[in-house]
Amino acid sequence: MPLANEVAAGNFDRGILICGTGIGIGIAANKVKGIRAALCHDTFSAHASREHNDANILTMGERVIGKGLAMDIVDIWLQTEFTAGRHQNRVDKISEIEKA
């Protein structure tokens, strides 16, 4: 999982992975310590995955969504920042799981 390894190493801030459904590539990416890959097939999920969960990899399914929607999802995902605050607790809990 080269892209996930690069993001986890800090060589890239974020990454985007695409497969047929977005499911398998997301499962694989989430096996890499430090990765929070989010499968998004709508703009609301793309926004929330960044704002609330600090997702650092976006996964999408090319057989699931069309090109126009995919581009909207990417634009929103790249433009949305993590708000931390009360959401930081959640991200910290996720990171703790990786230490086990």
How far the first Cα of the chain sits from its last, in Å, is 22
**Is there a contact between 11 and 39 (Cβ–Cβ < 8 Å)?**
no
Report the CATH number that the domain containing residue 17 is assigned in CATH.
3.40.1400.10
What integer is the mean pLDDT of 8-13?
Answer: 98
The two structure tokens encoding residue 34: 């430090």
Nearest to 81 by CA among 59, 35, 50: 50
Q: What is the pLDDT of residues 15-65, one digit of tens each?
A: 999 999 999 999 999 999 999 999 999 999 999 999 999 999 999 999 999
Instruction: Assess whether 52 carries a catalytic annotation.
Output: yes
Domain boundaries, position 56 = 2-99
pTM attached to this predicted model: 0.93
Q: Report the interhelical angle of 67-79 vs 43-51 (nearest 10°).
A: 20
Assess whether pLDDT exceeds 80 at residue 100.
Answer: no
What is the number of structural domains in the chain?
1
Q: What is the pLDDT of residues 58-78, one digit of tens each?
A: 999 999 999 999 999 999 999
Instruction: Assess whether 47 carries a catalytic annotation.
Output: no
Check residue 36 and give its pLDDT: 97
Catalytic residue among 40, 41, 47, 52: 52
